[in-house]
Amino acid sequence: MPYSDPEQRRAYGRAWMKRNPEKAREAMRRWRERHPEAHRAENAAYYARHTEQLKRRIWDYHRANPAIVRAKSQKHRALRLAAEGSFTPGEWQELVNSYDGRCAYCGKAAKVEPDHRVALSRGGSNRIENILPACRRCNARKHRMSEAEFRARLAAERKQKPRYNRPSRLGSSVVEQRTHKPPVPGSSPGPATVVNDSIDPRDRPRVRA
């Protein structure tokens, strides 16, 4: 070392790293491999000293680079599940653009996230060919279903969806359509009898004794 003073040594080291960035990165990589515990302790101490600053920096980066964050998140998840393949932020953005930023299942223009046609937990890959953009609701509802299974479920739900008649209008007030059953002579009105108070009493059906 050319200097015995610690501050001068640090200044010299920083200047050397600026002049030799490739050599500095390689030296740091070797040091991290040889001293993993010391490296983790150093990172933890640095984070403790600059917690708020680092949180803000990470938050700003996530907001500015959503495609990169999603790709990295899916890559880590695939590694945990030992899934094959990966996709780049550019491939993900190109896929989203091909669907005009809409969900591939419901077609709504919403914030989309990567969904696997065949779930990773069922042996699907993490390649872009197995990815579709999906809104949060569709992605959560699909869960472990395959693309074909989920689309079949959506089609069945559309067929079973009930159709409601529009309410009729009487003047400026909306009158709900209800069935009026006249009471049987000599009996008290039961719970099934519904009377609409907004109808003129003269228009109500009359019951002969």
pLDDT digits (tens, 9 = 90+) for 107-163: 999 999 999 999 988 989 989 999 999 999 999 999 999 999 999 999 999 988 766
**pLDDT on residue 176:** 46
Cβ(42)–Cβ(49) under 8 Å? no
Least confident of 27-41, 91-105, 107-121, 174-188: 174-188
Cβ(111)–Cβ(101) under 8 Å? no
**pLDDT on residue 105:** 96
pTM over 0.75: no
Q: In the chain, what are the domain boundaries? A: 6-49, 84-159
pLDDT digits (tens, 9 = 90+) for 3-59: 678 788 888 888 989 999 999 999 989 999 999 999 999 999 988 999 999 889 888
Distance CA 117, CA 126 (A): 10
Query: Which positions ≥6 away from 127 have C-beta within 8 Å?
Result: 84, 85, 86, 87
Mean pLDDT computed over 85-89: 88
Fold of the domain built from segment(s) 84-159: DNA Binding (I), subunit A (1.10.30)
